[in-house]
Amino acid sequence: MKLPLIAACLVLPAAALVVAGCGTSVQREDETAVIDLSGSWNDTDSRLVAEEMIKDSLQRPWAADFTAKTSRKPVVRVRRVLIRAEEVINPAIITDSIVQELVNSGRVRAVAEEALIDQARNERADQEKHASADSRKESFQELGADFVLTGTIESQLDQEGSKAVKYYKATFKLVDVTTQEIAWQRSKAVKKLVKK
Cα-Cα-Cα-Cα dihedral sign, residues 72, 175, 114, 122: positive
pLDDT digits (tens, 9 = 90+) for 40-49: 888 889 889 9
Out of 98-112, 133-147, 170-184, give the one with best mean pLDDT: 170-184
pLDDT at 153: 94
Contact 125, 139 (CB under 8 A): no
165's enclosing H/E stretch is strand 163-176
pLDDT band at 7 (very low <50, low <70, confident <90, very high): low
Rounded CA-CA distance 50/99 in Å is 9
pLDDT at 8: 54
pLDDT at 4: 62
Other CB atoms within a 10 A radius of the CB of residue 190 amount to 17
For residue 144, give the DSSP letter: P
pTM of the prediction? 0.76
Q: Is the pLDDT of residue 9 over 90?
A: no
Q: Which residue has the higher pLDDT, 9 or 94?
A: 94
Q: At CA 115, angle to CA 110 and CA 118, rounded to 5?
A: 95
CATH for 36-118+143-196, options being 3.30.360.10, 3.40.50.920, 3.60.21.10, 3.40.50.10610: 3.40.50.10610
Residue 148 has phi, psi (to 5 degrees) of -120, 130
pLDDT at 107: 92
Q: Is the pLDDT of residue 177 over 90?
A: yes
Contact 171, 94 (CB under 8 A): no
pLDDT at 17: 53
pLDDT at 58: 93
pLDDT at 72: 95
Rounded CA-CA distance 124/126 in Å is 5
Q: Is the pLDDT of residue 12 over 70?
A: no
pLDDT digits (tens, 9 = 90+) for 107-157: 999 987 777 777 888 888 888 888 898 888 888 888 899 999 999 999 999
pLDDT band at 14 (very low <50, low <70, confident <90, very high): low
